[in-house]
Amino acid sequence: MEKERKHLQELYTLASGYQISSVLFEALRLGIFSAIGERSVSLKALAERVKVSETALKRFLGVLQALGLIEHSGNRYGNARLAGKYLSQHSMTYCGDLFIHNETLMRPWSQLHQCLKKGSMLTPPGSVLKRYPQQLRRYLLSMHAAGRIKSALISRAVPMKNYHCMLDVGGGMGTYAAAFSQINKNLSATVYDLQPVVPHAKRYIRHCGLEARVHVVAGECLAEPFPAEPYDLVFISNVLHMYAAAEVRKLIKKAAKTLVKKGTLLIHDYIAGTGNPVAVALFDMTMLVGTPAGRCHEQEELGRWMLSAGLSDIKTAEVGGGSSIIFGTRKK
Ligand SMILES: C[S@@+](CC[C@H](N)C(=O)[O-])C[C@H]1O[C@@H](n2cnc3c(N)ncnc32)[C@H](O)[C@@H]1O
């Protein structure tokens, strides 16, 4: 009987995943964790702060408590450690934007059935394309939220102190270029991304006071040449999964060519065959429903493409949250 109960619970947990994410998205949208902050608050005060019905909020907080995100004592509610550290905007390590972005994926995910039939994503309606500027900002903020944490994890696996000149291909807001340049004061970096992203990156680099060492250049990394300069580090983070194998091979070759001898190509991505298998497999489905030809490329094939581009000493390491790095050195 115990076994059946356990099996049923496992299946029930799988089937109610969307309900858990709906609760998390709503809590973030209402700003519950930020409204609670570092101290505990009464139910009444919290309901006033987030402007919802007190009785409904009590029930809603019950779910957050059951999920281990909120603590409750008497009539007062406080953030549990995890929520206080990552989901309250008062925390230095806030990354709620990352999860708010996940909510925008619900629309393409709702088309999973049609995408499985068709074998690729459906054409998005015009209304989605119209919201592009707001979506781009939200998207970049979510990448930034993850990047602030993951840049520290990556620089532990690949020490930044040895590099002088870095190219960050599809660098987004410049989160990694800025973080690595803050670690190594002798590093100068070029963030290379599509034109609409450039103002966002420039703003962030200015905010960090790094304009003298971190430059932002607009361009399309597949069709246009990289900003000319040999680099001793080319970083490609969360870009390759958007493209099919032929483009990825081309990009790896191009990146390897721009490196000086003994320079490093460092790829950060959701890589099949390494990292949390559930996170990677789900990410692969996100690429199926959300990109024309993207997917999580295999660790083995990425390694092979790097070798054939003239790189050697290929290594892989897990970063966290599903993503990993694979990196190699240019031989000559
Ligand atoms: C998922 S975001 C990753 C941002 C950042 N590298 C990170 O890991 O947080 C992908 C970035 O690649 C850029 N990108 C995608 N295709 C590109 C292309 N063909 N040329 C230049 N940039 C591209 C996008 O504009 C976006 O900023």
For residue range 266-315, what is the model confidence (pLDDT) as tens digits?
Answer: 999 999 999 999 999 999 999 999 999 999 999 999 999 999 999 999 99
Q: In angstroms, rounded to a whole number, what is the distance separating the alpha carbons of residues 82 and 30?
A: 18
Q: What CATH class does 2-93 carry?
A: mainly alpha
pLDDT band at 125 (very low <50, low <70, confident <90, very high): confident
pLDDT given at position 1: 83
**Residue to mutate, 140, 166, 180, 193, ligand 1, most ligand atoms under 8 Å from C-beta:** 193
Which pTM was predicted? 0.93
Query: With a 6 A CB cut-off, is 96 part of the ligand 1 pocket?
Result: no
Q: For 175-223, what is each residue's pLDDT tens digit?
A: 999 999 999 999 999 999 999 999 999 999 999 999 999 999 999 999 9
Atom of ligand 1 nearest to the CA of 222: 19
- Ligand 1 within 6 A of CB of 221: yes
pLDDT computed for residue 221 by the predictor: 96
State pLDDT tens for residues 16-67.
999 999 999 999 999 999 999 999 999 999 999 999 999 999 999 999 999 9
Q: Is 174 in the pocket of ligand 1 (CB under 6 A)?
A: no
Question: Where along the chain do its domains lie?
Answer: 2-93, 150-276+293-330
Q: Could you tell me which CATH number the domain at 150-276+293-330 has? A: 3.40.50.150
Percentage of residues of the chain with pLDDT beyond 70? 99
Q: Residue 231 pairs with which residues in a beta bridge?
A: 259
DSSP 18-74: HHHHHHHHHHHHHTHHHHHTTS-EEHHHHHHHHTS-HHHHHHHHHHHHHTTSEEEET
Give the model's pLDDT for residue 6.
Answer: 93
